[in-house]
Amino acid sequence: MEPTDCLVVYVPSEAAPAVRQAIGDAGAGRLGNYSHCSFSIEGTGRFTSFPGATSAIGAVNTPEEVPETRIEAIYASSRRDAVVGAMLSVHPYETPAFMTFSVDISLSADAPGFAD
């Protein structure tokens, strides 16, 4: 079984469908006979832009609160650059908040068709 990673990204809620589509097209969320699998939850993102920022939302030195969606999807580690690149290409923020990390899906390895 190929090593697996997970992407977690926070995105303005109106941009979430485009991000899910882009990362799925890049190989995230492939589980057995399924593609584009992900998990999302709604929340509130908070930030304050420094001078020099090219903020998509808000004004410099003004605290902002934005409805955001947290998107999580797993992918083959070999697809990391493609998945992260796809996310960055459609994410509207100048500096998106995201993380990637390795996950161990070997406990599910006995489930037929669990992961490619």
Q: Where are the domains of the chain?
A: 4-105
Over residues 98-114, the mean pLDDT reads 76
Beta bridge partners of 6: 74, 101
Confidence of residue 54 (pLDDT cuts 50, 70, 90): confident
Amino acid at 17: P
Distance of CA 8 to the CA centre of its chain: 4
Three-class DSSP category at 26: coil
| Residue 76 pLDDT exceeds 80 | yes
pTM: 0.87
CATH class of the 4-105 domain in this structure? alpha beta
Burial class (CB in 10 A: 0-12, 13-18, 19+), 111: exposed
